[in-house]
Amino acid sequence: MANVSKQHRDELLEKISKIREFIATSKANKNTRNLLQYLNEITKDIKGKKYGLVFEEHREAIDEKLDTHIPVLVEEKKLAIDNGGEQNFLIEGDNLAALKLLEKTHKGKIDVIYIDPPYNTGESFIYNDHIVDDTDAFKHSKYASFISERITIAKKLLSPNGIMFISIDDKEQSTMRLVCDDIFSESHFLTTIGWEKRTKCQNTKTAKKMLQPKIEYILVYKNTNKRIEFNCHVIGQKEYPEKDDVGIFRIEEIGQMGKGGVRGRASMIFPILGVSPNEGNQWKLGKDTILELIERNDVFKKNGKVYRKVRPDDESCDSIKPFWAYFSAEQYGTAESAKKELGKILNKKDHEFETVKPTQMIEELIFQASSEESTILDFFVGSGTTAQSVLETNVDYGGRRKFIVCTNNENNICRDITYQRIKTVITGKRKDKTKYSDGIPGSLKYFRVDYVPISDKLYYEYADELLLHIRELVELENGINFSNNGEIAIVLTDAEMEKFVEDNKKKKIIDVKKIYRGHNVLLSNAQTAFLKKHNIKINVIPDYYYQELAK
C-alpha cells in the first residue's frame, strides 16, 4: 500500500520548491526575505519526524546567541598550570558553544567521552536560566531537546572506536536512551551499568518509609559497527606446568559440543587419532586446526580421550577479571564518599556540591575504554571528577592520557571548584597553601568562551578579529603549549613569514612540522619552495577553522 501521508508531504515540498524558484526571479527586498524564512519554517515542519523519537524542539538562549555570534576562546594566562606531564584543557563557558569549537579542532579525535548531565529532577535542570520543575508540561521535551543537540555534536567528536559513557538517574533514563539510540543507532548501544549510589537510607520523616532508590545508571555507546573489547584487569597468569623439547605447555582435553542449532556442522565431525565425538556431538575445534596441532605433535590420546598441548603462543596468557556492568559501593564508592573526597581536596566540608561522582568509578571507565595515548572529554565536568580521574589513571596504569573538560561558571563553580580541584591534584597544594598530596605530573590551560558579533557583516569584516583567537584553537587542536613547543608555528604577517624562513635557513635540523599562516600572508615562490622542501604543512587561518564562513 502506498504511503499516502508521505506522498502528500512530497507534493507540498515540490510546491514549496516552485515558490522558491519564483521568488528567486523576483527583486529581493524585505518581503521576499521574510517569505523565504516562512518557507524554511514550513519545510522544517513538513520534514519533521512522524515516527520514532519525536519531541518538541526548543531553542535555548545560546542558540539565539550563536545565530549572531561566533564563539572563540580566550586564555586566562594567570590560571595556567605547568607541572610537566600532558597538556590538558579546561574550558569555561556554555558547553554548546564549547562543543561547536571542539567540532573545529577534534572531529573524530576523542577516544572516550564521559558526561554527567543535569538530572531532570525538578530542582537541578536549568533551561534558559530557569529551573524546569515538575509542573512544566514540556519538561521531558525540553530535556530531550537540550541533550540531543549536545550529544549529536559529541558523536562527531568520537574517534571511530570511541566510547561514550552517560550518567543518568531513573527520571530521564528512558528519554536519554531514546535520544542516544536515535543519534548512535540502537545497535551501537552496549549496555547499562548500574552504580550503587547510596548505602544509607533517607531517614527523614517523609522518606524513611518510602521506596528508596539505590541505583543510578551509566549508558554505554560505541561509535562503530565492529565489536568493542575493553581492557579488563589482569588478575594473574595462566600456568603452564608441563615442558617438552619445544617449551612449556598445559594439557587440555579437546572438547565436544552438541551438533544441533546454528553451529552444528558435519565438517566438525571426524576422527582424531581414531577417536570420534560422542553420538550427537561435534568437536569444538575444526579439522584444519586439529591437523596443524597433530603436525606439531601437540595432540595425544589417553584412556580413549584426546588431549592437546596448549602453549603460551596459542592463547592470551593472562587471566582477566570481567568488566561487569555493575559498580558496587564497596569497590567504587558512593555519592556520599565522593562528596567527602571533594571536601578533602578543597579543604571544605560545606562545598555544597551535591552531584559528585567518585573518582574510583570514573577511573575504571577511563581505564577500560582508553589507550595510553587517549584524549578524554567531559563537557558537563562540574566538580572536576573526570579531570582528576584521567590524571590518576596515568599514575595507576601508566600512559599519557589527556583531558578536555568544560563547564559553565554558574555560581563561580568553574573557578572556585573545578579549577581549584584540578590545581590541587596536580600541584598537591590546596588554595589555602596546605598540603593535599605529593602532586601528579600534568599541565593545564584555562580557556574562556567569548563571542565575536557577526550580524550584518561579511566574513572579511571580522576575519581579522577571529585571527586574534586562533592561537588558542591551535593549542587546543594539537594539545600543546606554544611556550615549550617547537613543532608548530603561527605567522600572521609577511614580515613574520620572512623572519621564520630566514631563521630556519641557518639550522641544520628544522623542528617545525606545521605552520598556521594568516590569510593575508602572501608566500613568495622561494618561501613556498622552502616549506615544501622541509615537508612543513601549511594551514591558512582563520579559514582553516572557519571555512564554512569563508565560502
| pLDDT of the residue at 526 | 93
For residue 334 the three cell numbers come to 558512593
127 and 117 Cβ atoms separated by less than 8 Å: no
From 453, 468, 492, the end of a domain falls on 453
Looking at the fold, whether 128 and 207 belong to one and the same domain comes out as yes
Looking at the fold, whether 204 and 291 belong to one and the same domain comes out as no
Does residue 61 lie within any of the structural domains? no
pLDDT digits (tens, 9 = 90+) for 378-407: 999 999 999 999 999 999 999 999 999 999
| pLDDT of the residue at 130 | 46
Cα gap 126→29, rounded to integer Å: 40
424 and 436 Cβ atoms separated by less than 8 Å: yes
Looking at the fold, whether 406 and 515 belong to one and the same domain comes out as no
Which regions of 314-458 does DSSP assign to beta strands (E)? 318-321, 326-327, 375-378, 402-407, 442-453
Looking at the fold, whether 205 and 353 belong to one and the same domain comes out as yes
Number of domains in the chain: 4
Looking at the fold, whether 152 and 76 belong to one and the same domain comes out as yes
Does residue 139 lie within any of the structural domains? yes
| pLDDT of the residue at 140 | 61
| pLDDT of the residue at 14 | 86
Does residue 211 lie within any of the structural domains? yes
| pLDDT of the residue at 5 | 58
Cα gap 369→397, rounded to integer Å: 13
Looking at the fold, whether 205 and 350 belong to one and the same domain comes out as yes
Structural domain boundaries, residue 34: 4-48
Looking at the fold, whether 307 and 168 belong to one and the same domain comes out as no
Q: What are phi and psi of 399, to 5 degrees?
A: 120, 175
Cα gap 61→545, rounded to integer Å: 24
Residue 162 three-state SS: strand
Does residue 379 lie within any of the structural domains? yes
Looking at the fold, whether 22 and 86 belong to one and the same domain comes out as no
| pLDDT of the residue at 551 | 61
Does residue 55 lie within any of the structural domains? no
From 453, 468, 483, the end of a domain falls on 453
pTM of the model: 0.79
| pLDDT of the residue at 373 | 97
Cα gap 12→4, rounded to integer Å: 12
Looking at the fold, whether 18 and 85 belong to one and the same domain comes out as no
| pLDDT of the residue at 276 | 92
| pLDDT of the residue at 262 | 45
Angle, to 10 degrees, between the axis of helix 335-346 and the axis of helix 419-427?
70
223 and 162 Cβ atoms separated by less than 8 Å: yes
Looking at the fold, whether 171 and 275 belong to one and the same domain comes out as no
Cα gap 421→428, rounded to integer Å: 10
Cα gap 232→535, rounded to integer Å: 41
Instruction: Render each residue's pLDDT in the chain as its tens digit; 551 residues.
Output: 344 456 777 788 888 888 888 877 776 677 777 787 788 878 877 776 554 565 566 688 898 999 899 999 999 999 999 999 999 999 999 999 999 999 999 999 999 999 999 864 555 444 444 444 454 445 667 788 889 999 999 999 999 999 999 999 988 899 899 999 999 999 999 999 999 999 888 766 677 778 888 999 999 999 999 999 999 998 877 889 999 999 999 999 999 888 664 455 778 899 999 999 998 899 999 999 999 999 999 999 999 999 999 998 888 767 788 999 999 999 999 999 999 999 999 998 887 787 899 999 999 999 999 999 999 999 999 999 999 999 999 999 999 999 999 999 988 999 999 999 999 999 999 999 999 999 999 999 999 999 999 988 888 889 999 999 999 999 999 999 988 888 999 998 999 999 999 989 888 888 999 999 998 899 999 999 999 999 999 999 989 998 877 66
Cα gap 367→230, rounded to integer Å: 9
| pLDDT of the residue at 266 | 76
Cα gap 311→3, rounded to integer Å: 61
Residue 254 three-state SS: coil
Distance of alpha carbon 260 from the chain centroid: 43
From 426, 453, 480, the end of a domain falls on 453
Looking at the fold, whether 166 and 249 belong to one and the same domain comes out as no
| pLDDT of the residue at 483 | 80
Cα gap 497→213, rounded to integer Å: 63
| pLDDT of the residue at 119 | 66
Burial 485-513 (b: 16+ CB within 10 A, else e): beebbbbbeeeebeebbeebeeeeebebe
Does residue 58 lie within any of the structural domains? no
Does residue 59 lie within any of the structural domains? no
298 and 335 Cβ atoms separated by less than 8 Å: no
| Beta-sheet pairing, 299-302 with 305-310 | antiparallel
Q: Which of 288, 275, 278 has its CA nearest to residue 258?
A: 278
Does residue 57 lie within any of the structural domains? no
Looking at the fold, whether 358 and 439 belong to one and the same domain comes out as yes
